[in-house]
Structure 1
Amino acid sequence: MRIVITSTHQRVDGPDGVNYFIFGLADELVGRGHDVSVVTALECDVEKVREMFRLRHTVPIISLTEHTKPGVQRERLKVWAGRGRRQVRALRPDLVIINGTLPLRLSDNDATVLHDCCDWHLGQQPLVSRSLHRWARALGRFLGYHLSRHLICTCGEISEVVGREVPFTARKCKVIPIGTRMQEVVAVSERERLLVHIGTASHKNPLPTLRAFAKMETPDVRLAFMGGPSAELEAAVSKLAPEIRSRVTLTDFLPRSEFLSLLQRARVVSIPSDYPVAVCSPSALESLAVGTPVVCSESISQDVVPEGVCGFRVKLTNYETEAARHLDDLFGDDVLWQTMSRHAQRHSARFSFDEVSSCYERLLPGMVAKEEGPAVATVGGS
């Protein structure tokens, strides 16, 4: 069947969790025999996408404009209401998967995917004023939720908030997580004494990881930050004691193969992200898929990291102290690490793109649904 996956607000050729979901899902659906196209509002480097996301199949990418950066909201909305809607309908899709919220209908079978609770992503600038901007966002959400046939929340926490704040969505709301690809798991004896932090943007919150690392009692651990280092992070690293500073490295985003190799070599991944509502974190899922335990903040959904099973969830207000303790345990206790690593791989299999694709296939008209599938639930389900 014909499926269109849209990115409403950002370039799809960047190292972003939503982009990873878009192309991982598209690749899996093509492999299942579906005709899948990705439609994006902005210009896209197709070769960069293929290299970054290691696509196994050809996925057509249609750019609606030649712009390279998001513009103001009304410009983005104008593109989608005009050229975007015409382009999507010309493809005659059986299902349109919309990442972000659009206050318009693209097809008779739209599925709007909410990756977080700040979802009206039509640009960064207010229309006229901050007050009007807030009203516009609220109206955009209401229309988008109302017009979309399916409302997909990527974790239970988002589903609960949406169901509470927008009660009319309850009957159309489902929980389907973002997916991950299962990878080879490296034994503890072959792992490096390495702690990894992915991303250095403000919401990725790298400083708590650095402070927790500095408080660790295990002396031989190294810390690697992946993502363009910010001035704030560089300044914080420079203030560390020389012995600690010498074990910290800052790198840019890595090619896909090197990134996976880094996760497979690491002993633990730290994710103290800061979101108003917990999210289904691709960084956490990819770590678990290679059997690497995670220490994270409560901004990472408990659906992804059940406490004490394949990692630990820590309050941000006490992250550096509590995370340091858990990190010392995971670096110092091979039995604990091996137990969590086994649980990580077993748990992450529930989030494989094979499982997630099956959930989206159930939204297609006339498709026979599997009777069981832990990734799908109604609001309030688990």
Structure 2
Amino acid sequence: MHSLQITPYYVPAYAFGGVVRVVEGLSQALVARGHDVTVLTTDAFTREEPLHHSAEEMLDGVHVLRCRNRVYPLRRVNLSTPFGMRSVLRHILPTVDVVHLHEFRTVESLLATQAAAQSGVPVVLSPHGTLTRTTGRSTMKSLWDRLLSPGVAQKIEHVIALTEAEAGDVRSLWRELLGSEPDISIIPNGIHAAEFASLPDAADFRQRYGLGSDRVVLFLGRLHPRKGVDMLVRAFLQANLPHTRLLLAGADEGALQAIRPLLDDRIIHVGFLDATSRLEALAAADLFALPAKGEGLSLASLEALAAGVPVLLSPECYLPEVESAGAGRVVAPEVAPLAKALRDLFAEPATLAAMREPARQLIAAGYTWERVAAQVEAVYNLY
């Protein structure tokens, strides 16, 4: 089967967040299952600069096609501009069995659904937690939904939701747009657990950022207001943990300005980390924290668990099983409960140590790309 994955950003544009790694992982896993996979994307590398790669290349068995993306002012509001995509779609769609959209309100999804409908190719959507209007660009989302979303939605045969909560968001939006509900499957994100089975030595990373032997609370992801970074910083300061640092690892997307006055030598913002440095950060971490206010299923949380790092999450991360598995805590994304959880988790060294193996086992049981790709393949086979 030949699937066409549609995404605004692809490897190595990891600065755009977890969706890039999700599409990469799914595509590689589908190739491993014997499928042909093409990723149609843009040449964006960061919000300020393009990627200097060929317009067509093979990456780990995945056929990658990149359209030119040059309208940087629009990219600052996360709107990609894939010049020439219509032409590429006309050329490739006759060879495609299914189109898989990653994110809903994008120019790429708009163009791909139009072209797929004309070619009679079925379309599957993974919204990746972006449907709700309550977090992130709500005004733009509302305008997009009035003008463009109905035409896109009616061309989508199936939606893959990460969680039951996201499935509810899908049903609600479809009823608003079309007066009906789509076919939905709930399939989580996955990770390549083997990548996290043996972490690098953390000594160089600790020395690089002056961590010494201090304990480390790690936030790993884009510094976006909906990620709850402000609550985490305030809770960390209120907890006042001795010999403990808070490491904020990720590119700023609007949250840094609000927390900058609160930062002191206990809180370190290291910016965006590449793949190697991410593993080093996980090796150095005693606890991963993500008190998101609107997230979907966090890929960074799954990676932390796979690395054996206990997690402190909000309910909006949709991993309630970490508590029953003994792999972490789930608390409201508010200062007081977060501060209490931090104090409780660090009260005894044995508390976090006992959570490491259950964290790894939780991922192995249900969140590997091998398992996820088999479920996605089953959705493709419906059409």
Give TM-score scaled by structure 2 length: 0.76
- Structure 2: segments with no counterpart, 5+ residues: 204-212
Q: Which of 206, 216, 220 is residue 229 of structure 2 equivalent to? A: 206
TM-fit CA distance, 1:246: 2.5
Relative contact order, higher structure (CA 8 A, sep 6+): 1
Matches within 5 A, 1:232-247: 232-237=258-263, 245-247=264-266
Where 1:299 maps in the other structure, the secondary structure is helix
> Residues 140-199 of structure 1: CA distance to partner in whole angstroms, max 9, x if unpaired?
33333321121111121110222244356656111111221212267xxx9961111123
TM-fit CA distance, 1:17: 0.7
Q: Which residue of 2 aligns with 1:362?
A: 378
Where 1:329 maps in the other structure, the secondary structure is helix
Letter in 2 for 1:33: G
> Residues 327-381 of structure 1: CA distance to partner in whole angstroms, max 9, x if unpaired?
22222334432343222212222111111111111133389xxxxxxxxxxxxxx
Note if contact 1:95-1:110 (Cα within 8 Å) is conserved in structure 2: yes
Q: Which of 248, 260, 265 is residue 225 of structure 1 equivalent to? A: 248
Q: Which residue of 1 aligns with 2:122?
A: 109
Matches within 5 A, 1:47-196: 57-67=60-70, 69=72, 70=74, 76=81, 82-83=86-87, 85-90=89-94, 92-101=95-104, 102-103=109-110, 104-105=113-114, 106=116, 108-118=121-131, 134=142, 136-138=144-146, 140-167=148-175, 170=181, 172-182=183-193, 183-184=196-197, 193-196=215-218
Q: 1:87 to 1:329 in 2, by over 3 A?
A: farther
Q: Which residue of 1 aligns with 2:332?
A: 315
Matches within 5 A, 1:293-372: 293-302=310-319, 305-306=322-323, 309-316=326-333, 319-349=334-364, 350-365=366-381
Note if contact 2:239-2:343 (Cα within 8 Å) is conserved in structure 1: yes
> Residues 294-330 of structure 1: CA distance to partner in whole angstroms, max 9, x if unpaired?
11222211357456742222222xx222122222222
In the alignment, the residues of structure 2 paired with residue 23 and residue 218 of structure 1 have an alpha-carbon distance, to the nearest angstrom, of: 38
Percentage of matched positions with identical amino acids? 20
TM-fit CA distance, 1:88: 4.0
Letter in 2 for 1:361: E
Q: 1:258 to 1:135 in 2, by over 3 A?
A: closer
| Two-structure CA RMSD over aligned residues (Å) | 3.7
In the alignment, the residues of structure 2 paired with residue 329 and residue 125 of structure 1 have an alpha-carbon distance, to the nearest angstrom, of: 36
Q: 1:253 to 1:175 in 2, by over 3 A?
A: same
In the alignment, the residues of structure 1 paired with residue 65 and residue 180 of structure 2 have an alpha-carbon distance, to the nearest angstrom, of: 30
Note if contact 1:197-1:224 (Cα within 8 Å) is conserved in structure 2: yes
In the alignment, the residues of structure 2 paired with residue 281 and residue 64 of structure 1 have an alpha-carbon distance, to the nearest angstrom, of: 28
TM-fit CA distance, 1:5: 0.9
Letter in 2 for 1:179: G
> Residues 259-311 of structure 1: CA distance to partner in whole angstroms, max 9, x if unpaired?
11211221101112222xx5111121111111111112222113574567422
Note if contact 1:112-1:145 (Cα within 8 Å) is conserved in structure 2: no
In the alignment, the residues of structure 1 paired with residue 185 and residue 261 of structure 2 have an alpha-carbon distance, to the nearest angstrom, of: 43
Letter in 2 for 1:173: I
In the alignment, the residues of structure 2 paired with residue 236 and residue 143 of structure 1 have an alpha-carbon distance, to the nearest angstrom, of: 45
TM-fit CA distance, 1:47: 7.5
Give TM-score scaled by structure 1 length: 0.76
Deviating more after overlay: 220-229 vs 151-160? 220-229
Letter in 1 for 2:124: A
